[in-house]
Amino acid sequence: MQDINRITLAECIARFIAEKNTPAVFQLSGGMIAFMIDAIGRLGKTPIINTRHEQAAGFAAEGSARISRIPGFAMGTSGPGATNLLTPIASSYFDSIPVVYITGQVNQKELRTNPSQRQNGFQELDICEMAKSITKKVYNPKTATEVLIALNEGWKLCQEGRQGPVLIDIPINLQQDFIEYDFPIHSSSIMKSELSTVELSEFKNLLDAAKHPLLLIGGGVRLSNATELLSNFIIKTGIPYVSTLLGLDSISHTSDNYLGFIGSYGNRWANAAVKQSDLLITIGSRLDVRQTGNDISKFVTGKKIVRVDIDEHELSGRIKSDLAIKSDVSDFLRAAIEIDYRIDSSLYISGIREIRKNHPQQLEQQSNLVLNPNIVMEYLGELFSQSSGYIIDVGQHQMWAAQSIRLRDGQRFLTSGGLGAMGFAIPVSIGAAAAEGGRWVSISGDGCLQLSSAELQTIIHYKLPIAVCVINNGQHGMVAQFQEENMGNRLTGTRDGFSNPNFQEIAKAYGFTKIAKIAHLEDLEKVNDLVKKMNEEPIFLEFIVDPQAKALPKMSVKDE
């Protein structure tokens, strides 16, 4: 066995990553990370997935972390490689995903010593300064030993409390240093939240006083690995529930107690359920503006609010509550399930179901559409009912998917929540596919696809089991909708000046062999056959949806 004291820092980093069993390291090469990538390759324990853009490497690491529950690793070289990582860094920060971002830095001898000088070394850039506000912590170690300390601490920190990314910027000369250091074995001390008995009895009092309690499920449930606890809590108490965008895949969609997806573009009946509730219990949701609408008073009127969140800064934020519980979701549910409580909500639930019957989601669209995107999403939910999950991009199609895909228990639904970054879906599905087998379904708008279409090559290169679906409405629909509502139909940059390539030809050029285009309802049958015949090869499906379709209903346009 090689003496641990005689390996280079780059080799040591490779060992560190291998020990963590992260599904892969995602990267785009560059001189300043080449020693580390070489060491990871030589060690041969962690797969290296090469993307065509560092932004994709970062997003893929986020996808890998979300699915494997092991922090992701993404690497980019100094300068442009590092700045290309900034978007995914922000994405994982806002959606609380643990990712270790590693950037290479120029030789310490080439670093500028005077901060007024713009640049000294080629591709020198102070990425730590830039990433400070979108990470839990940035590290710019000065010695090899400091790098190891940063790795150890960063690895722990990104998973502790409210999770999120860290960045470690490592100068190339340190990577080649021989070091006399072994990693201390640390036991991961995941924070335990202290739930007081006072809080629990206040919670019980609020429950006892409520006629229509409703749970609002957020992304924190998955982050806390609490889906089973939540399901047990719901079964025991009988409380109905609605979901935010990021909570969708942490609850059962088939239970009678599920009352839909809320928010600015939520299901009409789900927003009605919130409105009619007199006790709203939010579990791991920061209640973003997209969930509550701008007018908070409409959201909070007529009800008590209990908020459970691991981050006290969220609890003291925009929406005040009657009871704020700072707790990890799992800890809260473990304690709350002991409360002696059960409610019969059947009347309230049937009232909400009546609204659903009278306003089915697909009829929110005008009636004469050629291909109604809500029907397409329902169809995709059936077609891929056996898949591991869906990864959705940003725009109208994101809302149609959240409104209309009926997830099966255990299926995942990943989308860009806080940052809302176009170009998210394809690279995140690459990371998800690296983390877990089965079919993954990536759904992008025609605009979003063009931000990540180079990653079609990554899918083909690694033969990843991804079905790439494009919802083509010939425009940046979400922004066009906003322009139509606010700018007198001037559609600059969204329809005027926007165009698409022939996506079928693009897919073919990248090497996809299973390609289909669906422009009418009848065509859906053809896809059925195509998908059923295939195991897990890459597929490319283009849906030409009616450009008149909108993301509807829009909250506050016509509230129940």
Ligand X SMILES: Cc1ncc(C[n+]2csc(CCOP(=O)(O)OP(=O)(O)O)c2C)c(N)n1
DSSP calls for 446-473: HHHHHHHGGGHHHHHHTT--EEEEEEE-
| Residue 240 binds to ligand X (criterion: CB under 6 A) | no
- Closest contact distance (angstroms) between CB of 264 and ligand X is 13
Contact with ligand X (CB under 6 A) among 397, 439, 495, 550? 397
Q: 392 or 555, CB closer to ligand X? A: 392
Per CB under 6 A, the segment of 74-82, 272-280, 392-400, 518-526 that binds ligand X is 392-400
- What lies within 8 Å, CB to CB, of 466 at 6+ separation is 426, 429, 430, 433, 439, 440, 441, 442, 459, 538, 539
Between 417 and 447, whose beta carbon lies closer to Mg ion?
447
Are 435 and 412 in contact by the 8 Å Cβ rule? The answer is no
Query: Do 273 and 243 touch, CB atoms closer than 8 A?
Result: no
| DSSP annotation string for 36-85 | HHHHHHHHTSS-EEE-SSHHHHHHHHHHHHHHHSS-EEEEE-TTHHHHTT
Interacting positions 277-316 with ligand X (CB under 6 A): none
Q: Which is nearer to ligand X, 245 or 305 (CB)?
A: 245
Nearest distance in Å: CB 499, Mg ion: 12
Residues of this chain, 31-70, that bind Mg ion according to CB under 5 A: none
Query: Phi and psi dihedrals of 115, rounded to 5?
Result: -60, -15
User: Cβ of 504: how many Cβ atoms within 10 Å?
Assistant: 15
Number of residues that bind ligand X (CB under 6 A): 19
Tell me how far, at minimum, the Cβ of 189 lies from ligand X, in Å.
Answer: 37
Q: Which residue has its beta carbon closest to Mg ion? A: 445
Interacting residues with ligand X between 463 and 492 (CB under 6 A) = 471, 473, 475-479
Q: Does 88 bind ligand X (CB under 6 A)?
A: no
Q: Give the nearest distance from C-beta 395 to ligand X in angstroms.
A: 3
Q: Which is nearer to ligand X, 195 or 456 (CB)?
A: 456
User: To the nearest whole angstrom, how small is the minimum distance from the Cβ of residue 410 to ligand X?
Assistant: 27
Which one of residues 9, 414, 421, 515 is an interface residue with ligand X (CB under 6 A)? 421
Least Å from the CB of residue 494 to ligand X: 7
What lies within 8 Å, CB to CB, of 126 at 6+ separation is none
264 versus 396: smaller Cβ distance to ligand X: 396
Q: Which amino acid is at 86?
A: L
Q: Does 96 bind ligand X (CB under 6 A)?
A: no
Task: Match 């599920």 to its residue by tokens.
Answer: 258
Which range, of 149-157, 295-303, 394-402, 435-443, touches ligand X by CB under 6 A?
394-402
- Residue 78 or 475 having the CB closest to ligand X: 475
Q: How many residues bind Mg ion (CB under 5 A)?
A: 5
Query: Which residue reads 């922004």 in tokens?
Result: 479
Binding of residue 365 to ligand X (CB under 6 A): no
Q: Which two tokens stand for residue 231?
A: 């399901």
Residue recorded with tokens 């100094």: 78
User: Shortest gap between Cβ of 325 and Mg ion (angstroms)?
Assistant: 41
Helix H or strand E encompassing 530: helix 524-533
**Binding of residue 398 to Mg ion (CB under 5 A):** no
Question: Which residues face 171 on adjacent strands?
Answer: 105
Compute the least distance from the CB of residue 391 to Mg ion, in Å: 17
Burial class (CB in 10 A: 0-12, 13-18, 19+), 461: middle
**Pairing state of beta strands 25-27 and 539-544?**
unpaired
Give Cα separations from 204 to 20, 230, 250, 333, 477 (angstroms).
41, 17, 24, 13, 45
| Residue 448 binding result from ligand X, Mg ion, none, given CB thresholds of 5 to 8 Å by partner type | ligand X
Residues 318-347 touching ligand X, rule: CB under 6 A, are none
| Cα–Cα dist 441/460, whole Å | 15
Site for Mg ion in 475-514 (CB under 5 A): 477
Binder of ligand X out of 123, 321, 330, 396 (CB under 6 A): 396
- Partner from ligand X, Mg ion, none binding residue 420, C-beta < 5-8 Å depending on class: ligand X
| Partner in contact with 164, chosen from ligand X, Mg ion, none, beta carbon below 5 to 8 Å by kind | none
Q: Is 402 in the site for ligand X (CB under 6 A)?
A: no
Of 417, 430, 425, the residue nearest 393 (C-alpha): 425
CB of 490 to ligand X, least distance (A): 15
Q: Which is nearer to ligand X, 127 or 471 (CB)?
A: 471
Shortest Å distance, C-beta 364 to ligand X: 15
By the rule CB under 6 A, 418 interacts with ligand X? no
> Residue 471 has which token pair?
């919802």
Can residue 446 be called a binding residue for ligand X (CB under 6 A)? yes
3-state DSSP assignment of residue 442: strand
User: What is the closest distance, in whole angstroms, from the C-beta atom of residue 480 to ligand X in the complex?
Assistant: 7
392 binds ligand X, rule: CB under 6 A: no
What would the x/- binding string for Mg ion be over residues 437 to 476, using CB under 5 A? --------xxx-------------------------x---
* Alpha carbon separation from 409 to 147, 269, 392, 479 (Å, rounded): 42, 21, 18, 33
Question: How many CB atoms neighbour CB 135 within 10 A?
Answer: 24
Q: Copy the structure tokens of residue 397.
A: 């199609």
Q: Give the interface with ligand X as residue ranges (CB under 6 A).
A: 393-397, 420-422, 445-448, 471, 473, 475-479
- Which stretches of the chain bind Mg ion, using CB under 5 A? 445-447, 473, 477
